[in-house]
Amino acid sequence: MPPRVRVFAPASVSNVGPGFDVLGFALERPGDVVEAEAADEPGVRIVEVAGDGGELSTDPDRNVAGVAARSALSALRGIGAAAPDAGVRLRVHKRMPLASGLGSSAASSVAGALAVNELFGRPLERRALLDHALAGEAVASGSAHADNVAPSLFGGFVLIRTYDPIDVIDLPVPEGLRVAVVHPHCRVETSKARALLHGHPFTIEQAVANLGNLAALVVGLHRKDLDLVGRSIEDRMVEPLRAPLIPGFAAVKAAARRAGALGCSISGSGPSVFALADGDETAARAAAAMVDAFRDAAGLDAESYVGPIDGAGARRIDEP
Amino acid sequence: MPPRVRVFAPASVSNVGPGFDVLGFALERPGDVVEAEAADEPGVRIVEVAGDGGELSTDPDRNVAGVAARSALSALRGIGAAAPDAGVRLRVHKRMPLASGLGSSAASSVAGALAVNELFGRPLERRALLDHALAGEAVASGSAHADNVAPSLFGGFVLIRTYDPIDVIDLPVPEGLRVAVVHPHCRVETSKARALLHGHPFTIEQAVANLGNLAALVVGLHRKDLDLVGRSIEDRMVEPLRAPLIPGFAAVKAAARRAGALGCSISGSGPSVFALADGDETAARAAAAMVDAFRDAAGLDAESYVGPIDGAGARRIDEP
């Protein structure tokens, strides 16, 4: 058992286009870093939270990384891989914005669960960490949504077929696919964004539009047909309800399209916006255009991330 | 130009599981046969309709095969492939039940359009026939739904991404996949079945369930993973509303599952029910069990069709 481990869990884009609650993918950056070390006191303690602007609790029951770590530790005790009085100290380094629509709580949850498993010599399979990470995520969002957690944990483009029982399916990622994500400096609380949908009456026509586009998006990923992937980023259900929560969204989306993006929609519950592109240059151009549009249309500063979809998922980063 | 042609267009299953209005596949049988021959009188006439129990009109404006044939003939005139005064006589042989949920009107529409195109030496590409077949189908259902027409025309498993403009995507068909379709002797009018959905308020949770399952179904087809295809035949939106229109449906579905079917749902707007299976034997067993269940649970006679998904689509059948 190593005395200390350091893990990274990537940010992720969920609610991808027509795939509300079922489709997400991982980003190469940003992401969260969690360190775990063995401790004499039994149970999980959080000894440091950094990069959160003082917003997050160090109470392991109220911090998603702590909840996920406790859940994982309890499982390790259950299979005899950790002693009944085993103790873990966590350091949580937020390296990404909170409430940004980039799966911040999912990344922390995944990192918390992974760190504990790594500290004890990796007794649990990666698949088994999903439940523990979801336990953390549930604290943040009120219920366990897996479309950020699963991509952050496994990497890649991930489909959640159903939650009962959870059925996670990894999708192929076409080689040239690039992502531009822009995070404007404003906030959309996930709970508020979800409340908009709860009990909202959707028509069969809206559902049919999303069903057709989601199925086509999945075909596009399998065929490596980036144009098909792009034109399937079409959401008639959720985006129309949530777009008004994001100042300048229409202008940002139009700017991404003009810059050559294949498709563009809200990342998670916003305010971040993602665009897909068929190469690094177009992705960079789209990101710049979206940042400009947030400033010009809404007076908002924004930062951007450009890169491929992360294929590795959460991982230890202190090993050679 | 041959003096006469004879074409076959297959029946089809639409609204496949979670894929309402977007997903359909073709059956090897049953299907409709349409004959077209050159005539002196300009325009399209229907000189015979057989196998319809006297229910269908021979007025080409009120018979879907006639409407589709007229639409195709008009296009042929437009490109100079048919003379302005060209005339066509049609014979429409219904070889499948009407209002059965098996795409009867789509098969006739496709056959009508194809027959005219074949009669004039095939000037139009198959893709171009879609619009003409849809013109026929629109007469039957009030609007142009392509999830029966496209499979009947092209064969295979077909996705309609969107209708505006129409974007038809053919999906891979795993080799061992077999279909059992059972048609009970009762009727569900498409218009009545559609009216149930119109304005019905669907929840986000229902949509999410269908989105996840539809995407997984598409993955299963690409991966040739029949189990995944089967467990994705799960419809939380439309089946619960329409099942009560089909006497004995719950018992029939349970019987299909018990007989080893991978999945089971309503075909089109019913009353036919389809099941997917991983081979001929299981499909035959499922079909027999479903027929029995219709009789035992609802006192209905039923006939069944068992076979692979048809890969060829509508075709000329009078050539060597």
pLDDT of residue A267 exceeding 80, the answer is: yes
B233 — contact with chain A (CB < 8 Å)? no
Which one of A219, A223, A232 would you mutate to disrupt binding with B, by most B Cβ within 10 Å of its Cβ?
A: A219
Cross-chain Cβ contact A212/B171 below 8 Å: no
pLDDT of residue B283 exceeding 80, the answer is: yes
Asked if A23 and A42 touch (Cβ cutoff 8 Å), the reply is no
Closest CA to B94 of B61, B135, B153, B51: B51
The reported pLDDT for the residue numbered B268 is 95
Using an 8 Å CB-CB cutoff, list chain B residues near A228: 169
Task: Point out the residue among B22, B199, B208 whose CB comes nearest to the CB of A215.
Answer: B22
Closest CA to B204 of A164, A296, A203, A55: A203
The reported pLDDT for the residue numbered A262 is 97
Under 8 Å CB pairs connecting chains A and B tally to: 129
A227 — contact with chain B (CB < 8 Å)? no
The reported pLDDT for the residue numbered B189 is 75
Asked if A266 and A242 touch (Cβ cutoff 8 Å), the reply is yes
pLDDT per position as a tens digit, B174-192: 999 999 999 999 988 777 8
Residue given tokens 């006497």 in the structure block: B247
pLDDT per position as a tens digit, A198-253: 999 999 999 999 999 999 999 999 999 999 999 999 999 999 999 999 999 999 99
pLDDT per position as a tens digit, B242-265: 999 999 999 999 999 999 999 999
The reported pLDDT for the residue numbered B252 is 98
Contacts of B88 (CB under 8 A, 6+ apart): B36, B37, B38, B39, B43, B44, B45, B69, B73, B116, B119
DSSP B277: E
Which one of B162, B211, B269 would you mutate to disrupt binding with A, by most A Cβ within 10 Å of its Cβ?
A: B211
pLDDT of residue B306 exceeding 80, the answer is: yes
Name residues 140-169 of chain B within 8 A of A (Cβ).
159-162, 167, 169
State percent of chain B over pLDDT 70. 99
The reported pLDDT for the residue numbered B1 is 66
State percent of chain A over pLDDT 70. 99
A208 — contact with chain B (CB < 8 Å)? yes
Cross-chain Cβ contact B171/A219 below 8 Å: yes
Domains of chain A, earliest start first:
4-171+310-316 (3.30.230.10), 178-308 (3.30.70.890)
Cross-chain Cβ contact B215/A167 below 8 Å: no
Partners of A120 in the β-ladder: none
Asked if A258 and A4 touch (Cβ cutoff 8 Å), the reply is no
- What is d(CA B105, CA B97) in angstroms, rounded to the nearest whole number? 10
- Tell me the nearest-neighbour CA distance from B70 into chain A, angstroms: 30
Cross-chain Cβ contact B20/A202 below 8 Å: no
Across the range A171-196, mean pLDDT stands at 91
End-to-end CA distance of chain A: 16
- What is d(CA B94, CA B58) in angstroms, rounded to the nearest whole number? 13
Mean pLDDT, all residues of chain A: 95
Using an 8 Å CB-CB cutoff, list chain A residues near B218: 215, 218-219, 222
**Residue B137 a catalytic site member:** yes
- Tell me the nearest-neighbour CA distance from B1 into chain A, angstroms: 39
Cross-chain Cβ contact B198/A216 below 8 Å: no
The neighbour count for residue A163, using CB atoms within 10 Å, is: 18
Specify the higher pLDDT residue, B145 or A179: A179
pLDDT of residue B320 exceeding 70, the answer is: no
State percent of chain B over pLDDT 90. 90
Across the range B164-183, mean pLDDT stands at 96
Per the residue annotation, which of A55, A118, A125, A190 is the catalytic one? A190
pLDDT of residue B140 exceeding 90, the answer is: no
Report, in angstroms and rounded to the nearest whole number, the Rg of chain A calculated over CA atoms.
19
**Residue A205 a catalytic site member:** no
Cross-chain Cβ contact A202/B198 below 8 Å: no
The reported pLDDT for the residue numbered A190 is 73
pLDDT of residue A1 exceeding 70, the answer is: no
Specify the higher pLDDT residue, A319 or A99: A99
pLDDT of residue A195 exceeding 70, the answer is: yes
- What is d(CA A77, CA A57) in angstroms, rounded to the nearest whole number? 25
The reported pLDDT for the residue numbered A320 is 62
CA A310 to chain centre: 11
Using an 8 Å CB-CB cutoff, list chain B residues near A211: 18-22, 210-211, 214
The reported pLDDT for the residue numbered A146 is 92
pLDDT of residue B3 exceeding 90, the answer is: no
Across the range B9-35, mean pLDDT stands at 97
**ipTM for the assembly:** 0.96
Cross-chain Cβ contact A207/B207 below 8 Å: yes
Across the range A75-100, mean pLDDT stands at 95
The reported pLDDT for the residue numbered A265 is 98
pLDDT of residue B51 exceeding 80, the answer is: yes
pLDDT per position as a tens digit, A94-142: 999 888 999 999 999 999 999 999 999 999 999 999 999 999 988 887 7
